[in-house]
Amino acid sequence: MGRWIEVGDRAWVRRHAELDLSLGLVVGDRACLVIDTGAHEAQGAEFAAAIRELTGLPWSVVLTHSHFDHSFGTAAFGECPVWAHPACRADLAETGEAQRSVWAERYREQGRPQEAERIAAARLVLPGRLVGGTADIDLGGRLVRLAHPGPGHSGHDLVAHVPDSALLFAGDLVEQGAPPSFGDAFPSAWPAALDQVLGYGARTVVPGHGEPVDTAFVERQRAELAEVAELCRAAGAGEIAVAEALARSPYPEDFTREALGRAAATA
């Protein structure tokens, strides 16, 4: 079950204890936009029902990226426009089944068979409205701008900017309550993606996991990611040992190790 936090005029975040996940909703005069759909159809259905308590307007969905916890609930929203970066669609098509088996297995190992079964049963929906750069979604009386600020947490992150409320849904490009996740990241490009995000001028930024934050938080995370990017560069160039990179990193060892691996793979 989730709980709502209001983050602006007719804009909300649905917070979940599981994975500290944050899903978004922006409502206009004629339509609403759903930002990410949760880890499986049951979570998507609970989210959809909660939205229907706030508005009866037709919805469209935007997926910030392809990771299961953001995209596997989409089928619960039925026939509707689903926006995403073209590489998000490609990645869901390519890795969706692997994500399903890895995460279902992980939840089984944790002694949580119901969660595992829900992930195993989720019908994957491939986005049909593709945006590689920017796209404005007219909700009636207000616009939401979708934008790809470059590779960062994944190769295809999309953010949803609501200019009339100085509000931005950042997906996992920003993470509160835990270090950023590097499993599919582009560590050397991530700081520049956050420069783009900061350039949109939002005052409230909603991360994909954790509580809404202000721009000072995003600036700090950008500085930490720049430190990690520099450590990855220096380690990759042989200027410092891996052990030194791990010791100097602002993030825990396992996160930094993953960043080093991804930096080498994406160089």
Least distance between Zn ion and beta carbon 38 (Å): 13
Stretch that binds Zn ion, among 21-29, 59-67, 86-94, 118-126 (CB under 5 A): 59-67
Stretch that binds Zn ion, among 50-58, 142-150, 169-177, 247-255 (CB under 5 A): 169-177
Stretch that binds Zn ion, among 99-107, 114-122, 141-149, 172-180 (CB under 5 A): 172-180
Both tokens assigned to 256: 């930094």
Least distance between Zn ion and beta carbon 95 (Å): 12
| Torsion sign across C-alpha atoms 266, 216, 178, 248 | positive
Structure letter (DSSP) for residue 63? -
Stretch that binds Zn ion, among 62-70, 81-89, 187-195, 212-220 (CB under 5 A): 62-70
Both tokens assigned to 189: 């490009």
Least distance between Zn ion and beta carbon 210 (Å): 12
Task: Return the half-sphere exposure (C-beta side, CA atoms, 13 A cut-off) of residue 85.
Answer: 23
Report which of 160, 236, 138, 150 is spatially closest to residue 186, judged by C-alpha positions.
150
Both tokens assigned to 197: 């995000």
Element (H, E) at 56: none
Q: Which is nearer to Zn ion, 182 or 200 (CB)?
A: 182
Q: Using the rule CB under 5 A, which residue among 67, 142, 161, 222 binds Zn ion?
A: 67
How far apart CA 109 and CA 4 sit, in angstroms, is: 30
Stretch that binds Zn ion, among 3-11, 42-50, 166-174, 251-259 (CB under 5 A): 166-174
Contact indicator for 88, 61 with CB cutoff of 8 Å: no
Strands 159-162 and 167-175: antiparallel
Both tokens assigned to 72: 């596997």
Positions in 228-267 near Zn ion (CB under 5 A) = none
Q: Which is nearer to Zn ion, 141 or 183 (CB)?
A: 183
Q: Does 222 bind Zn ion (CB under 5 A)?
A: no
Least distance between Zn ion and beta carbon 65 (Å): 6
How far apart CA 258 and CA 194 sit, in angstroms, is: 20
Q: Using the rule CB under 5 A, which residue among 172, 186, 202, 251 binds Zn ion?
A: 172
Q: Which is nearer to Zn ion, 172 or 258 (CB)?
A: 172
Q: Which is nearer to Zn ion, 67 or 89 (CB)?
A: 67
How far apart CA 33 and CA 175 sit, in angstroms, is: 21
Least distance between Zn ion and beta carbon 205 (Å): 16
Least distance between Zn ion and beta carbon 172 (Å): 4
Report which of 69, 68, 67, 62 is spatially closest to residue 85, judged by C-alpha positions.
62
**Interface residues toward Zn ion, by CB under 5 A:** 67, 172
